[in-house]
Amino acid sequence: MNANKPFAKIVLDKLGAAQSNKDNNKLSDVKINIEDQPFFCHRFILCACSDFFKVLLHRQCSPNDSLISMIHITLKGIPHQTFGYVLDAVYRGENKLNETKMIEIWHAAHNLEIDFLKVKCEKYVIKQIQLENYTAIFESAIIIQSDQVLKALYAFLAQNYDHFITTDVFISMSKESFIGVINNCGESIVPADLLVESITKWVTHILPSDEAERPPAAAETNCQDIKPTGENKDADSKGVKEATDFKEKPERKDDYKNRPLEAIFQRHHDEDKKKLCQADIDSRWKHLGLLFRRVNFKLVSGERLRELMMDDHIMACDEARSIVNAAAAERIDRQIPKTTNKPGYWSSLFG
């Protein structure tokens, strides 16, 4: 043993060597099949790193598990190459993230509940945010509900506000996400007039009728409860365990006994993609006052105030009308001490 080599690194090297040897499964007690690709793993390592496997294997195992030679698990919805990268991170501590792999590995780490890898992916993703890829990152951050990545995205979108408000991401954005962006729009970043213009654009945009708002969490995975299949009833006597569909955090312990093990992960249905994070027109009007409260109306131009006061739809919103009228009254109060006898004075206040 190399005395100068960190012990943790030595252990990782040994684990990595054991995991890499696909033909030598003598010391493995879990076989995971993905797309006909076998992965021989170790229960104690999977349970130590993944809450998903910890729950699955703990509830699947029985007091007689010492007699079982191998637990068989089938995973669907995760590419085998991606799962290989995940195992490399778990066994070797290797970081194989790059721009083409980061989204898939991030989703896999989330679905398998590997917290340390999920955090590593999020830190990497935050550094990679740019105009060319922020849409895909935003979609994934909503599905995964990553507060850190969303916070970074909101700041990025505020810095690129002129571009952002011309995109479908802006039009389809939920109220919560839009507020997140607005909260990052400091006075030196986004002019107040542009902020007001974008709010009215978002509120008044009519989405197609099938694009109603829905919670993103529903699209997180497509794992189902365990269902008896009538197959492999003698699985325990054969020393083999396999499985059907189950949730990441199953609730019924009895459902796990003598069932084949199969987990199906699906990021979201294709037909749900366009519906993600989108809000309907009726609910948007209700948020107008809430959004206006986040604007410093002292910096809004007189011309913009006049446009708002002449908009019947905006004036029909009690809170929005109150905010606009208060800003107009404050502007008049500032001007009253000055001479009011000049021709066209009053019309110039909001022009």
CB 151 within 8 A of CB 180: yes
Q: What percent of the chain has pLDDT over 70?
A: 63
Choose among 127, 81, 132, 126: nearest CA to 104: 81
How far apart are alpha carbons 192 and 66 in whole angstroms?
68
More confident residue, 97 or 193: 193
How far apart are alpha carbons 148 and 119 in whole angstroms?
9
How far apart are alpha carbons 123 and 114 in whole angstroms?
15
Quick check: 300 pLDDT over 90?
yes
pLDDT category of residue 233 using cuts at 50, 70 and 90: very low
Quick check: 237 pLDDT over 70?
no
Round the average pLDDT of the chain to a whole number and report it.
Answer: 75
Quick check: 210 pLDDT over 50?
no
How far apart are alpha carbons 304 and 243 in whole angstroms?
63
pLDDT tens by residue, 46-66: 999 999 998 888 766 655 555
pLDDT tens by residue, 155-179: 999 999 999 999 999 998 999 999 9
pLDDT category of residue 234 using cuts at 50, 70 and 90: very low
Fold of 1-128+223-264: Potassium Channel Kv1.1; Chain A (3.30.710)
pTM for this prediction: 0.71
Mean pLDDT, rounded, for 181-187: 91
How far apart are alpha carbons 338 and 284 in whole angstroms?
40
Kindly state the tokens that stand for 170. 């802006």
Three-state secondary-structure class, residue 244 = strand
pLDDT category of residue 28 using cuts at 50, 70 and 90: confident
Quick check: 281 pLDDT over 70?
no
For residue 251, the model assigns a pLDDT of 40
CA 85 to chain centre: 21
For residue 196, the model assigns a pLDDT of 96
With the C-alpha atoms ordered 25, 31, 33, 36, is the resulting torsion angle positive or negative?
positive
pLDDT tens by residue, 97-146: 777 788 999 999 999 999 999 999 999 999 999 999 999 999 999 999 99
Tally of CB atoms within 10 A around 125: 25
6: region left, alpha or beta (phi > 0 left; psi from -120 to 50 alpha): beta
For 97-220, list the strands marked E by DSSP: none
- End-to-end alpha carbon distance in the chain: 81
How far apart are alpha carbons 154 and 146 in whole angstroms?
12
Q: Name, in order, each residue with C-beta under 8 angstroms of 306's C-beta and a sequence gap of 6 or more.
A: 350, 351
For residue 246, the model assigns a pLDDT of 37
